[in-house]
Amino acid sequence: MQEWQTNSGLGGVLTVSGHLGYHPTWDCERCGEPWPCPALRDIPRHQLRPAALIPVMAFLLRGAIRDLRGRAEGPEPPEIVRRFLWFLPLTEVEARAIARRLR
Ligand SMILES: [Zn+2]
């Protein structure tokens, strides 16, 4: 079980939960909340394997920023960064710096 989760990275915990979000809306397929949705954010950090999660979320972030920025009621890029990297204790300044690099 342990090994399976490690190997599958994002797939492990996130896929099993069924709470997945995709381009272009980034709303959760299962609960309709902005993804990563509250159900995912409730998963204890020790089950998330940040080392596997960070590269995947960084990749998805780039697409999400492209899709979501500029929408009238949409989130700003730093908010999107904090949403996708919810498991990291990012400051506002750090989130802005990451958003700039992913543009
Ligand atoms: Zn969900």
Answer yes or no: are the C-beta atoms of 28 and 42 closer than 8 Å. no
Going residue by residue through the chain (103 aa), what tens digit of pLDDT does each one get? 343 344 445 555 666 678 889 899 999 999 999 999 999 899 888 888 888 888 889 999 999 999 998 888 889 999 999 999 999 999 999 999 999 998 7
pTM: 0.83
For residue 73, give both structure tokens.
Answer: 């009621």
Answer yes or no: are the C-beta atoms of 27 and 21 closer than 8 Å. yes
Q: How far is the CA of 94 from the centre of ligand 1 (A)?
A: 26
Q: How far is the CA of 99 from the centre of ligand 1 (A)?
A: 24
Contacts of 34 (CB under 8 A, 6+ apart): 21, 26, 27, 28, 75, 83
Sequence length of the chain is 103
